[in-house]
Chains A and B, each alone.
Chain A
Amino acid sequence: MATQDSPGEAFENVDWDEVDAGGGGGLSGLLIAEVTAYVALLAAFAYDYFVLANESPTIGSWNVKDVEWLFALVLVLMFFHVVVPLVRNRRMTAYYWRQFRKNKVAIASLVYLTVLFFIGTLGPLVWAGPNSTIDFATAYAPPYFLGGDLASTDHFFGTDAQGRHLWHLIVYGMRVSFEIGLIATMLSITIGTVVGAVAAYFGGYVDEVLMRYVDIQQTFPVFILLVLLTYLYGASLLLIILLYGVFSWEGIGRLVRSEALQRREEAYVRAANAAGASRGWVIRRHIIPNVSGTVITAATLAIPTFILGEAALSFLGFGDPSTFSWGRTINAGRSDLDSAWWISTIPGLFLFFTVLAFNFVGDALSDAIDPRR
């Protein structure tokens, strides 16, 4: 009886796990693994932040930066709340996979994105930072398949105006793109889902206040704010990601609210109320899991908009000067378009196909999860 009055933190966490795993046995081991992963990440971050000097590398020659820490956190989160439930609920996963598989373009897109993801996250361990290959003797080298004096297998995709290997720029750009896409999406779907579900379930004034705020935020020009902040404080990738994530959940919030309004009227929500469940419990256990299909689809389609948004910013010269995003490389090669077209074009193609692939995957997912469409 005492536990009713004081549900401990651990107890709350168990619930979250079950929400995502959809039940099943052997929870506690997984929970321990997840908590351990967070603690390890936090400890590594604290060590890097407090012990190591600012510019000294964290692992090998790689100085892990704040965005990369955040990215690692998001990856751990995704592992425990996307990959693990998929593996544990094999039956459901197999069902969705059969639906998803019908869309051949989406399969190709998924393969492309997976390859890109692994090259992007692990590539910087293999290939040195673009600045380390600066060599004016090999500047403007064309891609190997075009031939020419400077063409070399050493820089297969050619080099830019400073002799940076284009492939290195592309690999580092992949990581930036995934960082933007995943972190900002994670932020925006979390906020959007919570706000939408709370607004729908509580209704009344809570709903009114939250949704009016959504209206205000929707009319708020995030892009101009970003440009202004960049102008005032200098650009930083972290700032861009956070602003995109925190100021672009309105759409998901609305979507979740409308979906949750229907779920709220379901008999199982009434049954849960009648069984003595608290409001928080009903939202967590019954409303959010039943809107997750909508959320997943919306999230997949949100990723490319964030990637494009950052590329646009970088192209305009408001990007983070210390990161090599695709937008920045495209912008840098703009003036040499007639003499060295590859500098802009090749990263541009990667950007184009990445955005396209996310859209295809998102479409196929929405078809697989929601058969009404």
Chain B
Amino acid sequence: MSSEPLLQVENLTTHFHTDEGTVRAVDGVSFDVSRGETVCLVGESGSGKSVTSESITRIVDIPPGEIVDGSVRFDGQELTEISEKELRKIRGKRIAHVFQNPQDALNPVYTVGTQIGEVMKIHGTEQDKAARRRRAVDLLDRVGIPDPAARVDNYPHEMSGGMKQRVVIAMALAAQPDLLIADEPTTALDVTIQAQILDLLAELQEEFGMSVLFVTHDLGVVAQIADRVVVMYAGKVMERGGVHDVFDNPGHPYTRALLACLPGEGDAETIGGELPSPLDPPEGCRFAARCPYAVEDCRVGDQPELVPVDGHADHTASCIFHQPDYDRSHIDREVDWESGAGTAAADGGVRGDGA
């Protein structure tokens, strides 16, 4: 066990400067990824999880984006301070990305073999053309493409969606990265292919000893692959912890709402209300406006600090009810998630209130 995590993200803040104002897409996010570990960033659309993953290697569009604050330490190196040129040596080689839609992620004018070889060529890991081709065939084989020696000369349009995603994964693995950032890699695929790709990723992770940062909105996927989970909402981290802790004992009402919406798990279909405006986020907890447990204290000040849930130091939630002055049992009651804010708060339940 290495003492320092492979990736340490601290107070990462990414803003987008738009005509309507500054969009605070990521607002002080912290988490870390250890070697060989799979961490899932979970949240609904617009929660800032993709921007977080793209801010790590600054592939987010700058401008209009800007990484305003925070630190990203990768293997002892501060990525927010190094030049674009230095960063390019890390992208693809040490931190690889897999994007959501495999249909578009491959350039239609090159064969898949050429595109897998491209990463090796960019990073100079394999200078010889024949060697690149051999490695491309080998990688295609490893990601489970049948007859790789023939497929290596195929153009993307000659492959199915699932195969293309395998090719994209092969491209990401080409330079043997330490960290693979997968941004919803299975969302555009049908369910059976999804399961195959997830199995493949787990297999490859073991084989290559990589860390994986997996961005998804699908808690079912999280349950299948994650070691640890980071739940995001409106640019803030709501809850962080080991996958079992978070699923068995969700500390934040938002996590519970997500679990309740999981088909086969809970009875809710939607969470009432909408994401707060990223241009002008509300005071207090970002989720307060949709939280059935929300009380007055939830709507003042900053987002609550991440505090341990039931005394577990590595399972934390950003909810005032885990703070010493509040009664945790308040958020353990059954609620109707679709009905929206404050509906369960009527009968109090806050110790400090009476004083």
Tell whether A274 pairs with B97 under 8 Å between CB atoms, given A3-B127, A25-B129, A289-B109: yes
Contacts of B108 in A (CB 8 A): 290
Closest Cβ of chain A to B138, distance in Å, is 17
Whether B118 is near chain A, meaning CB under 8 Å from some CB there, is yes
Q: Are A22 and B109 in contact (CB under 8 A)?
A: yes
Compute how far the CA of A90 lies from the CA of B63 in the bound complex, rounded to whole angstroms. Answer: 42
Q: Using a Cβ–Cβ cut-off of 8 Å, how many residues does chain B contribute to the interface with A?
A: 35
Tell whether A23 pairs with B92 under 8 Å between CB atoms, given A3-B124, A273-B59, A276-B122: no
Contacts of A23 in B (CB 8 A): 110-111, 113-114
User: Which residues of B83-135 are within 8 A (CB) of A?
Assistant: 88-93, 96-97, 99, 101, 104-111, 113-114, 118-119, 122-124, 127, 129-130, 133
Whether A286 is near chain B, meaning CB under 8 Å from some CB there, is yes
Q: Are A22 and B110 in contact (CB under 8 A)?
A: yes
Compute how far the CA of A274 lies from the CA of B113 in the bound complex, rounded to whole angstroms. Answer: 18
Whether A367 is near chain B, meaning CB under 8 Å from some CB there, is no
Contacts of B129 in A (CB 8 A): 25, 27
Q: Are A267 and B97 in contact (CB under 8 A)?
A: no
Contact of A4 among B57, B59, B124 (CB under 8 A): B124
Contact of B105 among A2, A268, A290 (CB under 8 A): A268
Minimum CB distance partner of B107 in chain A: A268
Q: Mark B55-78, 1 if CB is under 8 A from A, else 0.
A: 001010001000000000000000
Whether A277 is near chain B, meaning CB under 8 Å from some CB there, is yes
Minimum CB distance partner of A1 in chain B: B124
Contacts of B12 in A (CB 8 A): none
Contacts of A268 in B (CB 8 A): 104-107
Q: Are A290 and B107 in contact (CB under 8 A)?
A: yes
Whether A257 is near chain B, meaning CB under 8 Å from some CB there, is no
Closest Cβ of chain B to A28, distance in Å, is 8
Tell whether A267 pairs with B105 under 8 Å between CB atoms, given A275-B119, A281-B122: yes
Q: Mark A8-47, 1 if CB is under 8 A from B, else 0.
A: 0000000000100011010100000000000000000000
Closest Cβ of chain A to B193, distance in Å, is 18
Whether A285 is near chain B, meaning CB under 8 Å from some CB there, is yes
Compute how far the CA of A285 lies from the CA of B133 in the bound complex, rounded to whole angstroms. Answer: 18
Compute how far the CA of A272 lies from the CA of B90 in the bound complex, rounded to whole angstroms. Answer: 13
Q: Are A275 and B92 in contact (CB under 8 A)?
A: yes
Minimum CB distance partner of A292 in chain B: B109
Tell whether A273 pairs with B91 under 8 Å between CB atoms, given A3-B127, A22-B110, A23-B111: yes
Contacts of A3 in B (CB 8 A): 124, 127
Q: Are A290 and B168 in contact (CB under 8 A)?
A: no
User: Which residues of A250-305 are within 8 A (CB) of B?
Assistant: 266-268, 270-278, 281, 285-286, 289-290
Q: Which B residues fall within an 8 A CB radius of A? A: 57, 59, 63, 88-93, 96-97, 99, 101, 104-111, 113-114, 118-119, 122-124, 127, 129-130, 133, 168, 171-172
- Supplied contacts A267-B105, A268-B104, A268-B106, 7 more A-B pairs, CB within 8 Å: A22-B110, A271-B105, A276-B89, A277-B92, A278-B88, A281-B122, A289-B110
